[in-house]
Structure 1
Amino acid sequence: KEEEEKEEKEEEKEEKKKKEKKKKEKKKKEKKKKEKKKKEKKKKEKKKKEKKKEKKKKEKKKKEKKKKEKKKKEKKKKEKKKKEKKKKEKKKKEKKKKKEKKKEKKKKKKKKKKKKKK
């Protein structure tokens, strides 16, 4: 009888040990799973951040391009204005010159007439 009881106790002990082992294993697995999840999350976050950064960079580039374009346009406009002004000035001068010439001619004619009268 005693022998039997001893055996039973042994068996119980074994059972307990097995259960403990299983529990430990489960815990370990859970931990691993959690770690994996954490890592995945981190990875995702990183990716997201990178994407955001990229977007920002692109936006900046776009803005810069726009700014440059605007500057270019402004420059062109200014150049055009300058040219126009120059042209106008030239025309004005030409007109003045022509007038002067005409006046000169008239003067000469008058002189000639006077001479003739004499």
Structure 2
Amino acid sequence: MEKERREKEEREEKERREKEGREKKKGERARRKRNREWRKRERKKGERERKIKEKKRERKKGERERERRKRERRERRKKGEREDREKEERREKGEREERERRERERERKEKERCDEGERERDRERRKRERKRGERKKAEREREESEIGEREREKGERERKIKERKKGERERERRERERRKKKEERREKGEREERERRQRGERENGREREKQ
């Protein structure tokens, strides 16, 4: 009788220890699960913050690039206008000096001639020459202006095409990088999931062996 009572107590003690062991393992698994979920949330939070920072950097970079292009366009336009102005001033100066030289030459010849009729004819001829010269000058200026405008428009079109192509290449490069990072994250997630399942299977296998 005493032996049966002792064996019963030993069985109950053994069952109690096994139950406590199972509950302890269950609590440990729950704790590990909570830790995994917390790490997962922290990882997602860090990824979101990194994406936000990256977007801000890209936006600032784009703004700096647009400002730089705008500044370069402004400087090129100012440089072109300054060169055109200097060219026009040199041309006008040359024409003025040439007119003054011709005028001095005519005055010298006029002094040598004393015939009033000849002087009158000379004045009429000079008047016609001056008008003809003014017409030629106006026509030449109009042609130069049209040529300059066409050249500027051509340069502007070429510059816009280059900038558009450059922008497209940059967008393609960013898209490739984004896809690559996305693929790496997907592979990393799959790898972690496989490792987690393998650990779970190993732990389940050990528990079955113990039981």
TMscore range, shorter length: 0.7 to 0.9
Aligned to 1:57: 54
Of 51, 75, 89, the residue aligned with 1:92 is 89
Q: Given the alignment, which residue of 36, 39, 50 partners 1:39?
A: 36
Structure 2 equivalent of residue 11 of structure 1: 8
2:99 counterpart (98, 102, 109): 102
What secondary structure does 2:113 align onto? helix
- 1:79 aligns with one of 63, 76, 81: 76
Which one of 107, 114, 119 corresponds to residue 117 of structure 1?
A: 114
Q: Partner letter of residue 11 of structure 2? A: E
Supply the distance in 1 between the matched residues of 2:110 and 2:9 (Cα, whole angstroms).
151
In 2: Cα distance, 1:114 partner to 1:24 partner: 133
Question: What residue ranges of structure 1 are gaps of 5+ in the alignment?
Answer: none
Superposed CA deviations along residues 47-68 of structure 1, whole A, max 9, x for unmatched, are: 2222322322232222222211
- TM (norm. structure 1) is 0.81
1:70 equivalent in alignment to 2:67: yes
Determine the structure 1 residue equivalent to 2:167: none
Percent same amino acid at aligned positions?
27
**Could you say which residue in structure 1 is the equivalent of 2:26?**
29
Cα displacement string for residues 64-92 of structure 1 (whole angstroms, at most 9, x for unaligned residues):
22211111111111111111111111221
SS at match of 1:117: coil
TM superposition outliers: structure 1 runs of 4+ over 6 Å: none
The count of residues paired between Structure 1 and Structure 2 equals 115
